[in-house]
Amino acid sequence: MIKLLFYLIAKRRLLKVKIAIVGTGYVGLVSAVCFAEKGSRVICVDNNEEKIKQLNKGIMPIYENDLEDMLNKNKCSKRLEFTTDLEYAVQKSDIIIIAVGTPMLPNGHADLSQVESVTENIAKFMNEYKIIVNKSTVPVGTQKKVIKLIRDNQINEYDFDVVSNPEFLREGTAIYDTMHGDRIVIGTDNERARKIMTKLYANFNQSIILTSPENAEMIKYAANAFLATKISFINEIANICEIVGADVQEIAKIIGMDKRISPEFLSAGIGFGGACFPKDTKALIKFTEGFGYDFKIVKSVIEVNENQKTKPIEKLTNALSCVKGRTIGILGLAFKPNTDDTRESPAITIINDIQKLGGKIKAYDPIVKDIDKIKFDNIEYVDTAYDAVKDVDAVILVTEWDEFKQLDLKKVIKLMKGNIFIDGRNIYKYTKMFKLGYEYYCIGKKDSQYYKKSR
C-alpha cells in the first residue's frame, strides 16, 4: 500500500515536469505528441509562424500515421500547446528539448546553425535550473559546445545540464517507433540530469541506456551509417545477381535467417534517400576527416548509393533506344512510403536524368501533392496512378506505396502506350509481369529480357 502511494506520488511529480520542444518537424512534433500521450505537459516552439498557426488550428504540417488524432486528443486535454515564443516556453519548462534541423552544408559537414541559435536564446531566457536536451543529430563534441554556448550567453548564471538524447524514429512509423523503440539513449555525465531523464522516460517501458554524451552522439551516427551500409551492401549484391542470374530477394531472405545478419534493411532497390542517411553518412565522413581519419567503408556506401539511383535510367535507356520526346510515368515521389518527405528522394535524381535526356514526365504520389516539395518544372502532376501510366512509353516505380501493390496491372498495360515497366522496389513478380505482356525490369533479378532468352 505504502509502495503504491510512493509510486503514485513519484508519477504525479514526473507528470508535473514541464517540457518544451524546440522545432516542430518530424522529430519534434512526434516526440511532443508522444510525451503528451504519456501524460507530460509539452510546449512546442517553432520559429515558422505559419506552422504554429496551422498547428493551433489542428492542421498537420507533415503526413505521419496516427499523428493527427493523437495530437488533437492531447491538445484538447491541454497537455500540448504551440507557440513561436521561445522565452515563454523556456521559462515555463524544466526540460528543453532541441529538435531543430541539422541539414548538410555544401561542404558535407552538419550545419549546426539552428542548434546554435536556439541554444543562445535558451541561455538568454533561462530563469532557473534547466535541463537542455539535444535530440537533433549532431557530431561528437556538440554537447560540450552547447554547454560553452550557454555559459557564454547566460545573462544570470543559473545552473543547467546538457544531455544528448539521440532519436531513432523512422518517418512513416514515427509514432509507433517512439512508443515502442528498441532503446532510449541518454548521454550525460551528471547524476541529477540522469535521474530526471530516467524518470521522464520511465513510463515509455523501453530499455533506457545511460551513457556518456560522446557515446550518445556517436551511437546515432554509427546506427545510421550501419543501416545505410546494409542497404548499399545488398544493392551491390543485387547488381551482381543481375549479372549472374541470381535473385536478390531470395538471397536477402536466406542470409537474413542468420540472426547475426537479420532480415531487416536488406531490401535492394534504387538507393536510400531521406532527410538523414544521405546527410548523416556525409557528416560522419567529414567530422572524422577533421581528426585525420579516412572512413573508407562509409565513403563506399555513399558511392554505391549514388550509382544505385541511376539504375532505373540505365534500364530505361537500354530498353528505349531514345528517351527524347518519350513520356515516362513516375509512380511515387516520396523517399519511402507513408511519408510526404521528398528530401533526397531517388525520384529527384530519376526525374532530373529523364529531363536531361529530353523525356517528358507524368508523376503521381498518393501523398506528395505539393509541387513545391519536389521543385520540378515541366512535370505533369496527375491525380491517380492510372492517370500517370496513361499513354506513357514506360513506367518507373520509385516508391513502394501499398496502393501500387494493389494496382490492376492488366488495366495499367492497356492504358500505357508502351510496355516497359521498371520496378525500382521489386514489388511485382517478373513471371506475372511477363505473362501480362510487360517488358519488366526490376532490381537484382533476372529481368524479363533474361527470362525471355532463358525459356
Ligand X SMILES: NC(=O)C1=CN([C@@H]2O[C@H](COP(=O)(O)OP(=O)(O)OC[C@H]3O[C@@H](n4cnc5c(N)ncnc54)[C@H](O)[C@@H]3O)[C@@H](O)[C@H]2O)C=CC1
357 has binding-site annotation: no
276 is catalytic: yes
Among positions 133-152, residues that touch ligand UGA (CB under 6 A) are 137
117 has binding-site annotation: no
Catalytic residue among 34, 276, 322, 442: 276
CB-based contact 116:149 (threshold 8 Å): yes
Among positions 123-152, residues that touch ligand X (CB under 6 A) are 136-137
**Is 241 one of the binding residues for ligand UGA (CB under 6 A)?**
no
102 has binding-site annotation: yes
Output 173 or 449, the one with its CB closest to ligand UGA. 173
**Is 284 one of the binding residues for ligand X (CB under 6 A)?**
no
**Is 349 one of the binding residues for ligand UGA (CB under 6 A)?**
no
Among positions 105-124, residues that touch ligand X (CB under 6 A) are 114, 117-118
Among 11, 39, 47, 153, binds ligand X (CB under 6 A): 47
424 binds, among ligand X, ligand UGA, none (CB under 5 to 8 A by kind): none
**Is 276 one of the binding residues for ligand UGA (CB under 6 A)?**
yes
**Is 335 one of the binding residues for ligand UGA (CB under 6 A)?**
yes
332 has binding-site annotation: no
245 has binding-site annotation: no
Output 165 or 419, the one with its CB closest to ligand UGA. 165
x/- site string to ligand X, residues 50 to 89, per CB under 6 A?
-x--------------------------------------
Residues with catalytic annotation? Answer: 276
Binding site for substrate: residue ranges? Answer: 168-171, 220, 265-269, 273, 336
Could you list the residues that contact ligand UGA (CB under 6 A)?
Answer: 137, 167-171, 224, 227, 231, 265-267, 269, 272-277, 335-336
